[in-house]
Structure 1
Amino acid sequence: MSKRGTSANNDNRSLATRLLLMAVGMFGFGFLLVPLYDVFCDLTGFGGRTNETAVVMEENRDASREIQLEFVTTVNEFAPFAFEPMVESMTVQAGGLYEAVFTARNLTGRSKIAQAVPSVAPSIAGSFFKKLDCFCFTNQEFAANEERELLVRFIVDSELPDYVDTLTLSYTFFDTARLTDNRQQAATSTHSNQ
């Protein structure tokens, strides 16, 4: 084999190695994007994320500052629930303690488990919307055809930037009971076969 052929083979191997390393690096970067994005959102409040656990916060009402709060609900396309706010909007004072009530109803004839995922718009306001208690902190178990009221207690932090005068609190309701349903069906068929 000539030097030219050996050199071409070495160049091809080197190129293939570099391409393989680049592909592995891009896969690794793509894999790390989700946790990095989560950390970024937690630190900055970007994406309208709110606190995921209850905060302890004293009421420090600023009567001179009113904020319009709108409520929006969505049900995931696979979730057999009706879900809506009791009121579509309310005016709150910065630093004041408030409650909002939502209603949810299981539209099926069997028990279901649901989870609500919140977000706040504009996204800059997510870290200033403090939930002291929220139905979104835990899964909600519903009996067949059950309807119930769900409560969120919150304070809009008085440190919210002055240019923000309207917030939208959105919840998306998801059905998290698919595995439970599959387990119940498996248990029922096991018992009926015995």
Structure 2
Amino acid sequence: MSSKPNVAKSAIKHLFVALAMFGFGFALVPLYDVFCEITGLNGKVTGTVEKVDYTVDTSRTVTVQLLASKNAEMPWRFMALQEQIDLHPGEWKQIGFWASNTTASDMVSQAVPSITPARAAEYVQKTECFCFQQQPLAAGESKQMNMVFTISPELPEDIQTVSMVYTLFDSTEFADPETVAKLN
């Protein structure tokens, strides 16, 4: 007779655990955003802007580190053509990244940007970036992918180095039909 109450207690505990797991999964994205804001990781860029002609602040130089990485399942080669550049705030720069599809299959990639320190992200402005759209590459194909950007002269003076990380993901399965059609 004592097993029926134990089954009910066990069922309630399992239901509670399942609800807690669902709640945690639902709250994970906002929690991650808060974590990134607190730690300064994963600064996000808001996207493209119209090119603004700033007054270049020649009294300051900001070092920009350019890092290319790829998801563990991404079989391409991917690298920044320059690992580091110096620029004056307000000065526009074009930089290149190189990608090579080393597989025997046509693939589509998506680059996800991140800026550190996170508070510098709002001062980075891009007019052109390979990260704005999916990048198709045929089997064995390589190409240079460019980005045009500046860092606003409003960047706080205590920020002297900005790291821009681009992580490449395989998005072939989720690619727009128009992007896939470019491969044929």
Q: Which bin holds the TM-score, normalised by the shorter protein?
A: 0.7 to 0.9
Listed one character per residue, the Cα deviations across residues 13-63 of structure 1 (whole Å, up to 9, x for unaligned) are: 9x99x979975774464244234347769999x533332531224131211
Q: 1:114 aligns with which of 95, 109, 117?
A: 109
Q: 1:156 corresponds to which residue?
A: 151
The alpha-carbon distance between structure 1 residues 66 and 43, as it changes in their structure 2 partners (threshold 3 A), is same
**% of aligned pairs identical?**
23
> Which runs of structure 2 are paired with 1:41-190 in the superposition (5 Å)?
47-60=41-54, 61-178=56-173
Counterpart of 1:105, as a letter, is S
The alpha-carbon distance between structure 1 residues 137 and 52, as it changes in their structure 2 partners (threshold 3 A), is farther
C-alpha distance in 2 between matches for 1:53 and 1:173: 17
> Helix, strand or coil for the counterpart of 2:24?
helix
> Helix, strand or coil for the counterpart of 2:131?
helix
1:48/1:125 contact within 8 Å kept:
no
C-alpha distance in 2 between matches for 1:96 and 1:64: 12
Counterpart of 2:71, as a letter, is N
Deviates more, 1:137-146 or 1:26-35: 26-35
C-alpha distance in 2 between matches for 1:37 and 1:95: 34
RMSD across aligned positions (CA): 3.1
Q: How far did 1:123 drift? A: 1.9
1:120/1:167 contact within 8 Å kept:
yes
TM-score of the pair, normalised by structure 2: 0.76
Counterpart of 2:129, as a letter, is C
Aligned residues: 170
The alpha-carbon distance between structure 1 residues 108 and 52, as it changes in their structure 2 partners (threshold 3 A), is farther
Listed one character per residue, the Cα deviations across residues 47-89 of structure 1 (whole Å, up to 9, x for unaligned) are: 3333253122413121111101111111212111011111111
Any unmatched runs of 5+ in structure 2?
Answer: 176-184
2:43/2:117 contact within 8 Å kept:
no
Any unmatched runs of 5+ in structure 1?
Answer: 1-8, 181-194
Deviates more, 1:76-85 or 1:170-179: 170-179
C-alpha distance in 2 between matches for 1:42 and 1:117: 15
1:98/1:155 contact within 8 Å kept:
yes
